[in-house]
Amino acid sequence: MAEYNSFKEYKLRGRYITNAHIKTLNEQHKNIIQIQKVGLSVEKKAINSYVFGVGKKRILVWSQMHGNESTTTKALFDFFNRLHVEDELTNQLLSECTFCVIPILNPDGAANYTRLNANSVDLNRDAQLLSQPESKVLRGVYDSFSPDYCFNLHGQRTIFSAGFSSNSSVLSFLSPAEDVQRAVTKTRKVAMEVIVAIDQALKNIIPDQISRYDDGFNHNCVGDSFQALKTPTVLFEAGHFPGDYNREKTREFVYKALIAAFTVVSDKDLNGSTYQGYFNLPENQKLFFDVIIRNVVNNDGELFDVAIQYQEVLKEGELLFVPKVAKVGDLTEYFGHHEIEGEQNSILINNSQITTDLLKIINKISINGVDIAEKIAVS
């Protein structure tokens, strides 16, 4: 099998991915993928679908419904490159399946690096109202394409752990609920079976870092809505691999998860018979901060910890990770992707003592008079 690095799309890097970035890649895929405009965003940016394959199993995939969740889009273009490799896998996927992929559903949010669309609406809460042009595009494609499977691709924050553990959640998956009771229906079981296959393929590559997303029902969510329409739907959440703030390692794992999912769909007539392993995956918990500074003191000698979370800020086309105080106190139940031992020394943030009710962007930080700004910066 071809090695990942041989078809990774190196022209897509980092977290800021827009229509302009992917447009330059379309020419290289025109011989195997039919690219067509299926609608326009609020700001009249094109929403395109990529259709390929001739098989009877119909797979609908969309990414960047939330504009600032771009890791899965990068992985999709890695997958497109993989399709140029003529081998057994490619032949199987293209002969057994027909794919319809929308790489960027929310191009306005992508350009502005925001979760919401240009009308400040979360498209993943608009499945029933269909109040936004992007929502109408997706539903129109769903209705006309009539998929047998849906893949809803997202990215999740660095706060998530794989269960109650010190392992960050690199990938998490969900077979969305169809109803308030969260009944384990046949449709959900089939989606769960796909997730079990993904876990089997990746669990030795990222052990103990694959988890299950919360399945609280919301009929306004697209995944819940499509699942209720009896189309097995799998939610992908691309998470944080240690030190990988640009999500370049995670994109590789997303790519491999996509390959595993598409392979099992193309290879088998799934009926949900192996769904039980889905519930063995630990559920996501919010136990991480980007940085925790342990055991520092204030002027009164009180001992505490300081948690720092990065705020993602787009500035002149460049994504910056701006540190901000997120929590102060006893943080023994939490983990930091990076931890600094304060050794019971005093801490100053922006030349001031920090109090438990003060949350702020960090411009300057020192422990015992020593500047530690470099230690908390994303490298």
Contact 54, 93 (CB under 8 A): no
CATH number of this structure's domain 289-376, picked from the four choices 3.30.1490, 3.40.50, 3.40.630, 2.30.40: 2.30.40
Q: Which one-letter amino acid corresponds to residue 64?
A: Q
199-250 pLDDT per residue, tens:
999 999 999 999 999 999 999 999 999 999 999 999 999 999 999 999 999 9
Contact 39, 137 (CB under 8 A): yes
Whole-number Cα distances in Å, 122 to 174, 280, 337: 19, 31, 28
What is the rounded CA–CA span in Å between residue 172 and residue 84?
28
Residue 356: predicted pLDDT: 61
What does 42-89 look like in DSSP terms, one character per residue? TT--EEEEEEE---SEEEEEE--SSTT--HHHHHHHHHHHHTTS-SHH
Task: Please compute the mean of the pLDDT values over residues 305-323 and round it to a whole number.
Answer: 96
Residue 237: predicted pLDDT: 98
Q: Does 357 have pLDDT greater than 70?
A: no
Q: Judge residue 371's burial from the number of C-beta atoms within 10 Å of its C-beta, 0-12 exposed, 13-18 middle, 19 or more buried.
A: exposed
77-104 pLDDT per residue, tens:
999 999 999 999 999 999 999 999 999 9
Contact 145, 55 (CB under 8 A): no
Q: Does 358 have pLDDT greater than 70?
A: no
Q: Which helix (H) or strand (E) holds 110?
A: helix 107-112
Give CA angle at 329 (339, 357), nearest 5°. 120
Residue with tokens 């993928």: 33
| CATH code that applies to domain 4-286 | 3.40.630.10
What is the rounded CA–CA span in Å between residue 360 and residue 158?
19
Task: Please compute the mean of the pLDDT values over residues 344-368 and round it to a whole number.
Answer: 87
Task: Please compute the mean of the pLDDT values over residues 52-77 and round it to a whole number.
Answer: 98
* Model confidence band, residue 379 (pLDDT cutoffs 50, 70, 90): confident
What 8-state DSSP symbol labels residue 152?
E
Helix, strand, coil shares, percent, the chain, to 5: 30, 30, 40
What is the rounded CA–CA span in Å between residue 268 and residue 149?
13
154-164 pLDDT per residue, tens:
999 999 999 99
Q: Which percentage of the chain shows pLDDT scores above 70?
A: 98
What is the rounded CA–CA span in Å between residue 276 and residue 268?
17
| Mean model confidence pLDDT for the chain | 96
Please count the other Cβ atoms lying within 10 Å of the Cβ belonging to residue 40.
14
Q: Does 130 have pLDDT greater than 70?
A: yes
Residues in the chain: 379
From 87, 117, 94, select the one nearest 105 (Cα to Cα). Answer: 117
Structural domain boundaries of the chain? 4-286, 289-376
Task: Please compute the mean of the pLDDT values over residues 291-317 and round it to a whole number.
Answer: 94
Q: Which percentage of the chain shows pLDDT scores above 90?
A: 95
Residue 141: predicted pLDDT: 98
Q: Does 292 have pLDDT greater than 90?
A: yes
Residue 171: predicted pLDDT: 98
260-288 pLDDT per residue, tens:
999 999 999 999 999 999 999 999 999 99
